[in-house]
Amino acid sequence: MPVNLVAPDPASLHAVPGITLGIGSAGIKKVGRKDVLVMKLADEARVAGVFTKNRFCAAPVQLCREHLAAATPRALVVNTGNANAGTGLDGRARALQVCEALAAQLGVAREAILPFSTGVILEPLPVEKIITALPTAVANLAPANWAEAAEAIMTTDVVSKAASAKVQIGGQTITITGIAKGAGMIHPNMATMLGYVACDAKVAQPLLQQLVKHAADRSFNCITIDGDTSTNDSFMLIATGQTGTEIVDAASAEFAALRDAITAVAQTLAQAIVRDGEGATKFMTVLVEGGRDESECKAVGYAIGRSPLVKTAFFASDPNLGRILAAIGYAGIEDLDVDKLDLYLDDVLVATQGGRNPAYREEDGQRVMNKAEILIRVVLNRGPVAATVWTCDFSYDYVKINADYRS
């Protein structure tokens, strides 16, 4: 069951002027399931994205990059149930067929369509099914469909994920709404399977690229569930350009305000992915302080967050905390002086100067381990930098879900 996460209240998700959403059902995995999403953009809209660094990136990811370079996007199309990854040249051809079909219906160039797929790898994309579902999706395009859109992109997710905010920027109200899907194969670069955040601000393209990278590095690139990096991860930021004067200065207060608001929405979505991690029963925040740079703090955070031995101990609520020290030890900091290191579980000082805190009592550790949300705080005591990683535990259900996933 997801950790402190419920499906978003549709009433809480604000429509973003300049983007409409339509849902279809292609019957890719199950008949009748919502599994196709079309997002149509106003002419003024601009899109920036970050994608998986997996060398086996899916055909739609390859096409997205090319289309973003070639044209101004006018629509996005997402299918679940099939990743169109590990499908070679045939996979590219099929993804392009989807783009062509939607482009024809919307009367735009095929390069103006950005395709996305998520699901099983190494199986041919059922392109005819998807194309058949497109007219329905196009017919029900509407600004208020965010909750349905969040449902349409789910795979092994238990609950849908969406977040929304309104902020005052330069005397204007800017609306930000986003959706994401995750559940498994979750590790950074990108750390989510799919995430889409739209706002109605007007942002110059180079600044939009800065914004999406900034937000990703503080949200989807701070989470891990199983350490598996997906072939299809994509996080897209859309600025529909319907509100306000264009933001062109990265040093402006407007840029900073928009950046922070978008990052906050992205963080909510990224944390929702962890809360709904496959089989998750606990949500852990790993805060690594006192590092020399961010990369070493992240490396320690990920070593802890990814360790099956740490994750199974948390599942069992067993304060077997030496496993955290072992993970810190293999995080790859060659000159780490472990004798300077402190480890806290919430407010409990477990280890100090690299050894067990003499005042530490097992019952204090147990008290924290029994909680559903736990802070693991590591103080490296070698520099001024901190970083955070969010992760979940590793349960029987993780194995069950991933052993059964295709059946």
Which amino acids are annotated as binding site, given as ranges?
155, 181, 192, 278, 402, 407
Picking from 83, 87, 101, 93, the residue whose alpha carbon sits closest to that of residue 38 is 101
Q: 75 or 343: whose CB is closer to a copy of itself?
A: 343
Beta bridge mates, 329? none
Among 172, 320, 366, 381, the residue binding a copy of itself under the rule CB under 8 A is 320
**Annotated binding-site positions for substrate:** 155, 181, 192, 278, 402, 407
Of the ranges 32-40, 97-105, 140-148, 314-322, which one interacts with a copy of itself (CB under 8 A)?
314-322
Q: 289 or 393: whose CB is closer to a copy of itself?
A: 393
Among 217, 228, 246, 346, the residue binding a copy of itself under the rule CB under 8 A is 228
Examine residue 336 and tell whether it contacts a copy of itself (CB under 8 A). Answer: yes
Number of neighbouring beta carbons within 10 Å of residue 4 = 12
Among 27, 44, 56, 204, the residue binding a copy of itself under the rule CB under 8 A is 56
By CB under 8 A, what part of segment 123-162 binds a copy of itself?
Answer: 123-124
> Smallest distance, Å, CB 379 to a copy of itself?
15
Strands in 36-41's sheet, in edge-to-edge order, are: 19-24, 36-41, 75-82, 113-120
Examine residue 11 and tell whether it contacts a copy of itself (CB under 8 A). Answer: no
Examine residue 312 and tell whether it contacts a copy of itself (CB under 8 A). Answer: yes
Examine residue 282 and tell whether it contacts a copy of itself (CB under 8 A). Answer: no
Q: 21 or 96: whose CB is closer to a copy of itself?
A: 96
The angle, 0 to 180 degrees and rounded to 10, between the axes of the packed helices 88-106 and 59-70 is 50
Residue partners of 231: CB distance under 8 A and separation at least 6 = 52, 54, 56, 57, 58, 61, 83, 85, 86, 121
How many Å is the Cα radius of gyration of the chain?
Answer: 22
Distance CA 376, CA 392 (A): 12
> Smallest distance, Å, CB 296 to a copy of itself?
12
By CB under 8 A, what part of segment 164-193 binds a copy of itself?
Answer: 184-185, 187, 189
230-249 footprint of a copy of itself as x/- string (CB under 8 A):
xx------------------
Examine residue 88 and tell whether it contacts a copy of itself (CB under 8 A). Answer: yes
Picking from 302, 317, 327, the residue whose alpha carbon sits closest to that of residue 395 is 317
Examine residue 89 and tell whether it contacts a copy of itself (CB under 8 A). Answer: yes
Among 111, 200, 226, 276, the residue binding a copy of itself under the rule CB under 8 A is 226
Distance CA 32, CA 24 (A): 9
Distance CA 307, CA 389 (A): 13
Q: 146 or 314: whose CB is closer to a copy of itself?
A: 314
Picking from 218, 156, 199, 205, the residue whose alpha carbon sits closest to that of residue 181 is 156
Among 27, 143, 227, 290, the residue binding a copy of itself under the rule CB under 8 A is 227
Using CB under 8 A, count the residues that bind a copy of itself.
71
Picking from 156, 216, 154, 161, the residue whose alpha carbon sits closest to that of residue 189 is 216
Distance CA 348, CA 22 (A): 49
Among 10, 206, 308, 383, the residue binding a copy of itself under the rule CB under 8 A is 308
Burial class (CB in 10 A: 0-12, 13-18, 19+), 71: middle
Q: 105 or 320: whose CB is closer to a copy of itself?
A: 320
CA angle 392, 334, 326 (to 5 degrees): 40
Examine residue 29 and tell whether it contacts a copy of itself (CB under 8 A). Answer: no
Q: 30 or 406: whose CB is closer to a copy of itself?
A: 406
Which residue among 175, 192, 281, 285 is the active-site one? Answer: 192
The two three-digit tokens of residue 305, written as one number: 């967050």
Examine residue 284 and tell whether it contacts a copy of itself (CB under 8 A). Answer: no
By CB under 8 A, what part of segment 376-395 binds a copy of itself?
Answer: 394-395
Examine residue 398 and tell whether it contacts a copy of itself (CB under 8 A). Answer: yes
> Smallest distance, Å, CB 29 to a copy of itself?
14
Cα dist. 94→30, 54, 131, 259, 380 in Å? Answer: 20, 20, 10, 36, 50
Strands in 172-181's sheet, in edge-to-edge order, are: 46-51, 234-247, 194-203, 172-181, 161-169
Residue 243 is among the residues annotated as catalytic for this protein: no
Pairing of strands 36-41, 75-82: antiparallel
> Smallest distance, Å, CB 265 to a copy of itself?
27
List, by residue number, the catalytic residues: 192
